[in-house]
Amino acid sequence: MAIDVATVRNNFPILHQAVNGKPLIYFDNAATSQKPTVVIDAISDYYKRYNSNIHRGAHHLANVATEAYEQSRDFIATYINAATSAEINFVRGTTEAVNLVAAGMAKELKPGDEILISTLEHHSNIVPWQMACEASGATLKVIPINDAGELLMEEYEKLLTEYVKVVSCTYVSNALGTINPIKEIVAKAHAIGAKVFVDAAQAAPHKKIDVQDIDCDWLAFSGHKVFGPTGIGILYGKTEVMNALAPYMGGGEMIDTVTFEKTTYNRLPYKFEAGTPHIEGGIVLAEALKYMQNVGLDNIQQQENLLLAHGTKLLSAIDGMRFIGTAKNKCSVISFLVDGCHPFDIGTMLDANGIAIRTGHHCCQPLMQRLNIDGTCRASFAFYNTTEEIDVFVDTLKKVVARLR
C-alpha cells in the first residue's frame, strides 16, 4: 500500500510554514526528523496529567508515570524483537549507548586485544572506542571501504583474528546512506568469538529492526531520528552480555543495596539507568515508533526509495554534479558536490529559498579524509517528503550553481 503523502504531511505541523518567504522544504532528516502531532500531544499530555518521578513512589501520579514508562519499554522490546524488556536500556541517545558499552568493555580489554570499527563511522562510534583503547591498551583497527562507500568485506575477514574482542559498526551510514550487510558482519565476528555493537541510529528511521535476527550483542538508536523527542534513545543488550558488563554510571536506581563499605547493583535493565531518567522521552518514544508502525515500515521504505531514485535522476543532470557514496544498497540519503561550488555556499543559498539540507563533514571526518574531500552537501529524505519538493530543490540548486560559477 502506497503512502498518502498529503495525509501524512498533515500529521507534521512544522512542515506547513514559510522560511525566508518560501514554503519549507526539509531535507535534513538524517540530522533529525520532524515530529507528528501524536508525539507532540503525548509530550504535552505527560506534563499536563501525570508528571512525576517514577519507581518507588507510593502515590497515584508516580504509579501512572511508572506504568507508562515501563509499558513503553515493553513495546520497544516487542518492536525490535528483543527476548525480554529487561534487554532495553533507556539512554540519552546512540552516543551515550556507545559510551556506556565502550566504558564497560574497557574494563575487560587488555593490551594485545583489538577493536574493529569501519571507515564509515560517525564520530560517536569512533571516539568512545579510542578512549576504551587508551584506558585498556587495546588497539583500534579500521575496516576499509571502496570508492563507492561500501565495506571491503574480504578485508574485514582478514582483520578478524583471535585478538578481536569487539566489532562496532554502523548499520546505515549517516553521511553516504550506505546500508551495510549487518547480519554478515555479525555472523563473521561471532565466528571468531567477538562481540558486536550495531549503531542503528540511521537505520531505525528507515528499516524494521529485529535484534534476534541480526543476532548482535548490542544495538542502539536515538529517538530524535525516529520522529520522537531529543535526549532519549535505547540500548539493546543481550541479557548475558549486559549482566557481565560493568555499570557506566553510579547513583540512584542502579543500586540494590548501598553501604559505605560496598554497593550491590540492581537487576537489568536498571543496573544501567542511574538517576532520574528522561521520563517523558521514554514514554513518548514508544508513541513515535507506534506512529511509524501505523504508517508501515514497508510503506516508508517504498516512499523513500521513490524519493531516492527521483532525486538521483534529476541531480545527475546538473553539470559538474559529483555524487559522494554510490553504494548499490542505500537509504534515502544523497551526498554530493558540484564542481566550482563550495558546499556551505550551496547550503546557505538553498536556505535563502526555504530549503534545508546539511553541509560539512557530517561528524565523519575520517571518512571524508578517505574520500579526499572536506565535506559534502547532503539531502536526506523522509517519507513525508515529496517528489514535487525534490523538483523545486533541483530547480533551485541549478540557479544557485549558475550564480556561484
Distant-in-sequence, close-in-space partners of 233: CB < 8 Å, separation ≥ 6:
90, 91, 92, 93, 94, 96, 97, 201, 220, 221, 222, 223, 285
Closest by Cα among 154, 195, 155, 145 to 175: 145
What is the predicted pLDDT for the residue at 56? 79
In the block, which residue shows the cell 568485506?
A: 153
- Please indicate, yes or no, whether residues 239 and 333 belong to a single structural domain of this protein: no
In-domain check, residue 395: yes
Catalytic residues: 363
Answer yes or no: is 34 within a domain: no
Looking at the fold, whether 109 and 197 belong to one and the same domain comes out as: yes
One domain, residues 158 and 206 = yes
- 105 located within any domain: yes
CATH number of the domain residue 385 falls in = 3.90.1150.10
Residues 253 and 353 in one domain: no
The answer as to whether 199 is a domain residue is yes
Domain span holding position 15: 5-29+296-404
Q: Are 36 and 383 in contact (CB under 8 A)?
A: no
Q: Pick the closest to residue 221 from 232, 208, 237, 210 (CA basis).
A: 232
Tell me, yes or no, whether 267 and 353 share the same domain: no
At residue 405, the pLDDT reads 86
Residues 247 and 304 in one domain: no
69 and 139 assigned to the same domain: yes
The pLDDT score that the predictor gives to residue 1 is 65
User: Are 100 and 217 within one domain?
Assistant: yes
Which of the residues in the chain have pLDDT under 70? 1
Residue-wise pLDDT tens digits, 293-323: 999 999 999 999 999 999 999 999 999 999 9
400 located within any domain: yes
How many domains does one find in the chain?
2
Domain boundary among 237, 269, 293: 293
Q: In whole angstroms, what is the distance from residue 25 CA to residue 400 CA?
A: 16
Residues 287 and 316 in one domain: no
Q: Rounded to two decimals, what is the model's pTM?
A: 0.96
Domain assignment of residue 35, yes or no: no
pLDDT 10s digits, 117-143 = 999 999 999 999 999 999 999 999 999
CATH number for position 84: 3.40.640.10
Burial of 47 (0-12, 13-18, 19+ CB in 10 A): exposed
